[in-house]
Amino acid sequence: MADTAVQQLPVARSSSRVGAFVRRYRLAPYLLLVPALAGIALVYLWPLAQMVLYSFQNFGLPQLTGAAPVQWVGLANFSTTFADPEFWIALRITVFFAAVAVPLTLVSGTVVGLLLNRLGRRMSVFVSAAVLLAWATPPVSASVLFYWLFNPDGGLVDWTLSKMPNWLVGSTDWAGFNWTTTGALQAYTVLTVLVVWQSFPFIAVTTLAALKTVPAELYEAARIDGANAWRLFWRITYPLLKPIFLVLLLLSVIWDFNVFTQTYLLTGGLANRNEFNLSLYLYDKAFTFPPSYGLGGALALIFTLILLIITVGYVRASVRQGALS
């Protein structure tokens, strides 16, 4: 197990003056971070500051081009959002979707990662290539593919379901069943399959990478003691991989909250308002023409806050985990 006390990286006996300066003021970590931080500040933090500013203003295209003055509107953008029933519906849909998609993604990704760890070479190349293809398929193409599979007309799923025997949930009612426009539940079922299909590879590859860092001797010792696969997983693998799982959980929640392209294409663009999730709602309210960047900023802030509240427990745990090493 890794050492639990944090220590400085052992320094070599370098006598350069810069080296001495760095050591004296303990600048090493800052130097290592500065390039990444610079990039993140430019691409995230600076636009974020602007976005926060806009959210208190009536910022739209005329303001952007200078054709009209920027006006301070205070909390108006926020209160408009909270008063909109569509916002709450979209929020509910988003939360339910994430609650289903995230566990499915994590479990399937972990299972495949474990599997990949144990397969022989040729098999593992085959499976990992398949998995990678699912990940690499452009989201637009993937969405359309799944739409076709679930198409009421000539789609494979409806066709198969209508031909299956009754005891297996089949019936001719399935022919022509419109998955994506009938209602949110049906559409998001398809979306869940699609998102899990596209997201589990990342989990699998990361899990595999993490598994590779677990010393083989631990497994050997446990197996000699007669442990079966299940116990091996829970007693050895899971505790060692918990930090990574926590990160993956956080990332999955964040991404599944934000999923846009697939939702847009599967629910028919902006036409089916009762099927909006939060990112479609945001796009619809703020970024369709003519855009309203002030409202967009406010919505984005609300969105982020909601995510933060939902994940605060996990964030704390994850950071604390880091403090241990």
Which residue of 20, 21, 40, 172 would you call a contact of other proteins, by CB under 8 A?
A: 40
Residue 60, helix vs strand vs coil: strand
Name which of 103 and 325 has its Cβ closer to other proteins.
325
Name which of 169 and 224 has its Cβ closer to other proteins.
224
Residue 171 is a binding residue for other proteins (CB under 8 A): no
Which residues lie below 8 Å from residue 102, measured CB to CB, with a gap of 6+? 249, 252, 253, 256
How remote is the C-alpha of 132 from its chain's centroid?
Answer: 17
Which residue of 20, 33, 164, 221 would you call a contact of other proteins, by CB under 8 A?
A: 33
Residue 313 is a binding residue for other proteins (CB under 8 A): no
CA atoms within 13 A on the CB side of 213: 10
In DSSP notation, 154-173 reads: T-HHHHHHHHS-GGGT--GG
Amino acid making up residue 93: I
Which residue of 178, 189, 236, 317 would you call a contact of other proteins, by CB under 8 A?
A: 178
d(CA 4, CA 107): 29
Name which of 40 and 92 has its Cβ closer to other proteins.
40
Which residue of 70, 119, 222, 317 would you call a contact of other proteins, by CB under 8 A?
A: 119
Tokens of 5: 């006390």
φ, ψ (nearest 5 deg) of residue 288: -80, 160
Q: What residues from 188 to 247 belong to the interface with other proteins (CB under 8 A)?
A: 197, 202, 205-206, 208-210, 212-213, 215-217, 226, 240, 243-244, 247
Which residue of 61, 75, 164, 221 would you call a contact of other proteins, by CB under 8 A?
A: 61
The Cβ of residue 286 has, within 10 Å, a number of other Cβ atoms equal to 20
Give me the least distance between CB of 66 and other proteins, in Å please: 9
Which residue of 20, 21, 23, 47 would you call a contact of other proteins, by CB under 8 A?
A: 47
